[in-house]
A and B are shown apart, each in its own frame.
Chain A
Amino acid sequence: MTWIILANARKRKARVAMTVAGIAIGVATLFALLALSAGIEQALDREISAMGANILLLPEGCPYELTLALMQGSDAFEHIPMDVLPSVLAVGDVQVAAPVAVGKAKANGQLTSIYGTTDEILGVRQWGIDSFQGAVVGSDVAEKLGVSAGDVLSLSLYASEEIPIEVVLEPTFGRDDTFVFVPLEVAQRVLGLGDQLSAILVRTNSVTATTTTQSTLGRMSDIQAVPPSDVFERLMDLFATIKQTLILITGIAIVAGVLTTMNTMTMAVYERKKEIGILRALGSTRGNVFRLFVAESLVLSLVGGVVGIALGFIATQFLPQSSGFGLEATPVFSFLYVVICLLVAIVVGVASSLYPAMSAARTQPIKILREL
């Protein structure tokens, strides 16, 4: 059957190319969407896990926006007074409470996320050092600014500070790579926060104590206690809504692909009336003709599917990587997505060929021969 399909395709190169392109665009969109969605989900999971806290203490306001700002290293303009810290540490099950002040400032003249914290952060982050008085610089920032350990970093916004770089971190492939970590009071001065904090990262003694501790901390004034897992789930819910909308749009593109292919195949049936009539006269049954058209459409759709997967893969390499909640999301590729896209292509092929194939199969050879 393959040689028949190839021979017929050779006869209508432009039409075949347009059909394949129509299907490929739909499949490419789907493949890119699946890969990017998985990348965003993975990035969210990674960033929230990387905080290393069981509980986030945040200022009053939308906890999701505040958490996203914290992950992105931006100032959310809502703050916690520093004096709640002793009360937090006094809660029985609190093992670590790392105060954090974040915001964008200039580092060596370039806008960079400044992450002010104390040695307490070392209880929730694995940097391989025991304490820090200078700057701990993420790998991407170090590369961007062209600095290394021992250099002096010049920070400025509301105030200017010169601070030696103690460590350049190994790449984590997360947001930490884009941060400059500095002692809390340095960040507070540079960012003009006074004695206020962006958040407090809390780790409890045991996971089982988290709920009770969260409840106790949540009753304190001026702060809210949020488990990162709740934030993750909520953000994933939000993302799921966006994803559903995108899938719907992709679905519309695919339906348009089905209609285009159906139109092409219907036109092909019309153009090939004579050929069908001769085949029927020579003894091809309706089933033979039906199967020929379905097979042709299926092959075109599969080729479109493969081309679409390749295009989708290429497209994801050129799309901006900070597309998901301002996080760096690297597309995640899976064999499952290839299978899904090929299945979609097969469904497109079969669905779009049914009507034209039936129309071809219904051709009465005598009607064609009388027109010859």
Chain B
Amino acid sequence: MNITLTGAGKAYGTGEARFWALRDADLSVSDGDFFAIVGPSGSGKSTLLHLLGCLDRPSEGEISVDGRLVAEMPDRELSLLRRDHIGFVFQQYFLNASMTALQNVLLPLHLAGVAEGRSKAVAALETVGLAAKLKSYPTEMSGGEQQRVAIARSLANAPSVLLADEPTGSLDSKTGKDVLSMLVRLNNERNLGVVIVTHDADVAATADRRIDVLDGRIAQ
């Protein structure tokens, strides 16, 4: 799968309150890529990640997925595209506290009526090394384990690209390195495209390519 941004930008607000969070971004992400998006707070890196993840339509320019323009896809098609091809991981794991690790991973699969959801969820948790924690609740797990559950949730439906917004931002350095190593392993072993938004230069150094974003523009 290939996601391409061509002169893409995103503006928020209207009238005098309108501002550009991102402008004129050109970027292409495919299976097997490992990119790090780096920049200070408010620079537009999360907006870039959201556009790559087809969560939003651009205010200018184009985004295409395997040649198809996102702007022309209805909401349902974008949802299915995210479900089947794109995984998301967030800084704050956002797990449901009243569900076990397995149930958290199973939830989006179940709601979407994905076939063999349970076996996919179990396999995803095994991939992140949590086979023994299937029945554990988030409150019974460490921050690193919770983030691994969140990664398993995004991997369960075998996406082509994983987008991670500060995935190590809430973890101590050792746990952060473990999580990062896991993403590197998934990139190598599964040819998974990985895009990480980070402040951390060490994390950025792990990636094959570093993309700096400053004041809403990708630095050349």
Identify the A interface with B (CB < 8 A). Answer: 1, 3-4, 7-8, 10-11, 274-275, 278-289, 291-292, 365-366, 369-370, 372
Question: Shortest CB–CB separation between residue B98 and chain A, in angstroms?
Answer: 4
Q: Flag if A280 contacts B56 (CB, 8 Å).
A: no
Cα–Cα distance between A287 and B46 once the two chains are bound (Å):
27
Can you sample 7 A-B contacts with CB below 8 Å? A3-B103, A7-B99, A279-B107, A279-B108, A281-B82, A284-B112, A288-B113
Q: When A284-B79, A286-B75, A366-B50 are in contact, do A279 and B111 touch as well, CB less than 8 Å?
A: yes
Q: When A287-B76, A366-B50, A372-B90 are in contact, do A282 and B108 touch as well, CB less than 8 Å?
A: yes
Q: Flag if B92 contacts A282 (CB, 8 Å).
A: no
Question: Shortest CB–CB separation between residue A301 and chain B, in angstroms?
Answer: 20
Cα–Cα distance between A314 and B153 once the two chains are bound (Å):
47
**Residues of the A chain whose Cβ atoms lie less than 8 Å from the Cβ of B84:** 283
- Closest residue of A by beta carbon distance from B97: A11
Q: Flag if B97 contacts A274 (CB, 8 Å).
A: no
- Closest residue of A by beta carbon distance from B12: A370
Contact partner of B108 (CB less than 8 A), chosen from A1, A8, A10, A283, is: A283
Apart from A3-B103, A281-B55, A292-B111, what 20 extra A-B contacts exist at CB < 8 Å? A1-B110, A4-B99, A4-B111, A7-B103, A8-B98, A11-B96, A11-B98, A275-B94, A280-B79, A281-B88, A282-B87, A282-B153, A283-B83, A283-B84, A283-B108, A283-B112, A284-B83, A284-B108, A285-B76, A369-B46
Is residue B141 contacting chain A, with contact meaning CB distance below 8 A? no
Question: Shortest CB–CB separation between residue A320 and chain B, in angstroms?
Answer: 45
**Residues of the B chain whose Cβ atoms lie less than 8 Å from the Cβ of A279:** 107-108, 111
Is residue B157 contacting chain A, with contact meaning CB distance below 8 A? yes
- Closest residue of A by beta carbon distance from B91: A372
Identify the B interface with A (CB < 8 A). Answer: 46, 50, 53, 55-56, 75-76, 79-84, 86-88, 90-92, 94, 96-99, 103, 107-108, 110-113, 153-154, 157
Cα–Cα distance between A118 and B111 once the two chains are bound (Å):
78
**Residues of the A chain whose Cβ atoms lie less than 8 Å from the Cβ of B87:** 282
Contact partner of A285 (CB less than 8 A), chosen from B46, B79, B153, is: B79
Cα–Cα distance between A274 and B82 once the two chains are bound (Å):
17
Q: Flag if B98 contacts A7 (CB, 8 Å).
A: yes
**Residues of the A chain whose Cβ atoms lie less than 8 Å from the Cβ of B107:** 4, 279
Cα–Cα distance between A109 and B115 once the two chains are bound (Å):
80
Cα–Cα distance between A3 and B103 once the two chains are bound (Å):
9
Cα–Cα distance between A250 and B142 once the two chains are bound (Å):
52
Cα–Cα distance between A366 and B79 once the two chains are bound (Å):
12
Cα–Cα distance between A370 and B46 once the two chains are bound (Å):
8
Q: Flag if B98 contacts A274 (CB, 8 Å).
A: no
Cα–Cα distance between A291 and B112 once the two chains are bound (Å):
11
- Closest residue of A by beta carbon distance from B114: A283
- Closest residue of B by beta carbon distance from A287: B76
Top 3 closest pairs, chain A to chain B, by CB: A283-B83, A285-B79, A282-B108
Q: Flag if A7 contacts B82 (CB, 8 Å).
A: no
Contact partner of A274 (CB less than 8 A), chosen from B53, B75, B94, is: B94
Contact partner of B111 (CB less than 8 A), chosen from A10, A11, A288, is: A288
- Closest residue of B by beta carbon distance from A282: B108
Question: Shortest CB–CB separation between residue A359 and chain B, in angstroms?
Answer: 15
Q: Flag if A283 contacts B79 (CB, 8 Å).
A: yes
- Closest residue of B by beta carbon distance from A279: B108
Q: When A275-B94, A369-B55 are in contact, do A285 and B80 touch as well, CB less than 8 Å?
A: yes
Q: When A3-B103, A275-B96 are in contact, do A286 and B108 touch as well, CB less than 8 Å?
A: no
Q: Flag if A366 contacts B96 (CB, 8 Å).
A: no
**Residues of the B chain whose Cβ atoms lie less than 8 Å from the Cβ of A283:** 79-84, 86, 108, 112, 157
**Residues of the B chain whose Cβ atoms lie less than 8 Å from the Cβ of A1:** 110
**Residues of the B chain whose Cβ atoms lie less than 8 Å from the Cβ of A281:** 53, 55, 82, 88
- Closest residue of B by beta carbon distance from A289: B111
**Residues of the A chain whose Cβ atoms lie less than 8 Å from the Cβ of B98:** 7-8, 10-11
Cα–Cα distance between A94 and B63 once the two chains are bound (Å):
98
Q: Flag if A282 contacts B154 (CB, 8 Å).
A: yes
Q: Flag if B94 contacts A278 (CB, 8 Å).
A: yes
| Chain B CB within 10 A, most for which of A285, A286, A288 | A285
